[in-house]
């Protein structure tokens, strides 16, 4: 099997602090991760759990926060029962969000490791593309709304 990583990036017209707020807010996460519930305390070494329904199937995804640096980096392991694979360390991937502030914009990148087949690569790539588009829309709409109020 091939071990591949999917990496996607998007430019968001907002500061890293605004993007970070949405990456770590359970209500925002529901909006960009297809109504997923997240449970964690956002501390290195802590468990992280996602639950929800994906394409008609209930799932529980779990992992551990490996690294967290406010407004810069969030890295955690991830395993989903939807994979059909045993819950063993070999079947966990890493999900890595990085934020890079560039003037008034933030480059948000996400990398998912341990993608084992071409079909899975295509599915994961499409999934993260949709997620990043949703994050961009949510964050930019909030920034515009806050400017109108100010």
- The CATH number given to whatever domain includes residue 106 is 3.30.530.20
Residue 116 confidence (pLDDT): 85
Instruction: Encode pLDDT of 85-128 as tens digits.
Output: 999 999 999 999 999 999 999 999 999 999 988 999 999 999 99
What pLDDT band is residue 149 in, cutting at 50, 70 and 90?
low
Task: Kindly indicate the confidence band of residue 143, based on its pLDDT and cuts at 50, 70 and 90.
Answer: confident
Count how many domains the chain has. Answer: 1
60 beta partners: 51
Tokens of 128: 């993260």
Q: What is the pLDDT of residue 1?
A: 41
Closest CA to 11 of 108, 140, 137: 108
Confidence of residue 81 (pLDDT cuts 50, 70, 90): very high
Helix (H) or strand (E) holding 129: helix 118-149
Q: What pLDDT, in 10s, does the model give residues 9-56?
A: 999 999 999 999 999 999 999 999 999 999 999 999 999 999 999 889
Domain range for 15: 4-149
What pLDDT sits at residue 54?
A: 86
User: What's the pLDDT score for residue 145?
Assistant: 75
Query: 52 or 3: whose pLDDT is higher?
Result: 52
Write down the pLDDT at residue 4.
86
pLDDT at residue 99 in the model: 98
pLDDT of residue 115: 93
At residue 74, does pLDDT exceed 60?
yes
Q: Which residues of 3-34 are buried (b: 16+ CB within 10 A; e: fewer)?
A: ebebebebebebbbebbbebbbeeebbeebbe
Q: Which helix (H) or strand (E) segment is 74 a member of?
A: strand 73-80
Residue 70 token pair: 């406010």
**Please, is 76 exposed, middle or buried when counting C-beta atoms within 10 Å of its C-beta (0-12, 13-18, 19+)?**
buried
End-to-end Cα, the chain, rounded Å: 54
Q: Residue 2 pLDDT more than 60?
A: no
């Amino acid at each position: 099997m091939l071990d591949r990583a999917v990496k996607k990036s998007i430019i968001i017209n907002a500061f890293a602090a605004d993007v970070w707020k949405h990456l770590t807010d359970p209500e925002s996460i529901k909006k960009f991760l297809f109504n997923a519930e997240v449970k964690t305390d956002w501390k290195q070494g802590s468990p992280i759990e996602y639950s929800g329904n994906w394409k008609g199937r209930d799932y529980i995804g779990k992992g551990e926060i490996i690294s967290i640096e406010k407004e810069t980096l969030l890295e955690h392991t991830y395993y989903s029962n939807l994979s059909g694979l045993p819950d063993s360390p070999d079947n966990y991937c890493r999900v890595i969000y990085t934020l890079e502030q560039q003037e008034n914009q933030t480059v948000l990148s996400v990398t998912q490791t341990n993608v084992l087949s071409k079909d899975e690569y295509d599915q994961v790539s499409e999934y993260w593309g949709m997620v990043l588009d949703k994050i961009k829309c949510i964050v930019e709409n909030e920034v515009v709304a806050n400017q109108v109020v100010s």
